[in-house]
Amino acid sequence: MPQNQILIKEEMRILGAIQIMNGLIIQFLGTIWGYLLISQTTALLSVYIPIVTLVGYPFWSTLTFIFSGAFTVVMQKRPSLYTISYAILGNIISSCIAVLGLLLLIFELSVATFLVETSIWQMRSAKMLSGYLFLFTALELFVASVATHWAYQAKKSNLNT
């Protein structure tokens, strides 16, 4: 085996594709959340404050998730120390954004659970959308962490040889 070849796991391309699709799903959930917020303003704002949507988390986080997934795919296709470094940096930023989103969603869901007594369909829809955002954000955190770990291992093994 040549000395300058970098060994990267085959699954990295799949992780990158998962990150890209996950970013698109979060974008679409944010769009649905925004539509619900605009169309049902009188019913929602009096009892449910959508912190995550008002901050714009589904829209700006999507960019980091898609870019980190793209860097991960590029790292798998054209492995070099630069692409590995970009993939590691992109996935670390993506993980930080996902943690921030999880904290915002936990706060939003806890406020909605403890302060809201009414159970109208708009409220159930809002909680459901926030719950889906929570699940997909947790998935992004997990995938970005695994991709960062594998990329760091590949970079470390290449530097040691």
- The tens digit of pLDDT for each residue in 9-55 reads 778 889 999 999 999 999 999 998 888 878 776 655 566 677 888 89
Enclosing domain of residue 147: 11-154
Total domains present in the chain: 1
Give the model's pLDDT for residue 34. 83
For residue 62, being part of any structural domain is answered with yes
DSSP the chain: --TTPPP--THHHHHHHHHHHHHHHHHHHHHHHHHHHHHTHHHHTTT---HHHHHTHHHHHHHHHHHHHHHHHHHHHS--HHHHHHHHHHHHHHHHHHHHHHHHHHHHHHHHHHH-----HHHHHHHHHHHHHHHHHHHHHHHHHHHHHHHHHHHHHHHH-
Does a structural domain hold residue 71?
yes
Q: Is residue 81 part of a domain?
A: yes
In terms of pLDDT, which residue wins out, 63 or 124? 63
Domain assignment present for 3: no
Judge whether 64 lies within some domain: yes
Per-residue pLDDT, 156: 84
pLDDT for 73-104, tens place per residue? 998 888 888 989 999 999 999 999 999 999 99
